[in-house]
Amino acid sequence: MAIRPHSWPDYDVIGRELRSRGFGDKCRFCANNGELWFVSTSHKLKDEQGRTRCPMLQAYTCPKCRACGLNAHTKKYCPTNRR
């Protein structure tokens, strides 16, 4: 494939490539925040154990329960909502 230095790679091609390598879950937190695609596809929002992997979300503290770091979530996904 020819290299075109002045255009971004085709997102669909990259996305398919990433999915085939198991990176299908792009980070929805970054995507919703309008981060560039290579930021939001560079990590998952959460790992298999449900721990927050997103560095942007890890830096966020939940205003409802003060969770941050590996337990970070937005207030929409706060466990205190489920009561």
Which residues of this chain interact with Zn ion, rule CB under 5 A? Answer: 27, 29-30, 54, 56, 62, 64-65, 67, 78
Q: Is the CB of 4 or the CB of 66 nearer to Zn ion?
A: 66
Three-class secondary structure of residue 5 per DSSP: coil
List the structure tokens of 26: 């792009």
The Cα-based distances of 13 to 10, 39, 44 in angstroms read 5, 16, 19
CB of 71 vs Zn ion, minimal distance in Å: 8
Count CB atoms within 10 A of the CB of residue 80.
10
Q: Is the CB of 6 or the CB of 82 nearer to Zn ion?
A: 82
Q: Is the CB of 9 or the CB of 79 nearer to Zn ion?
A: 79
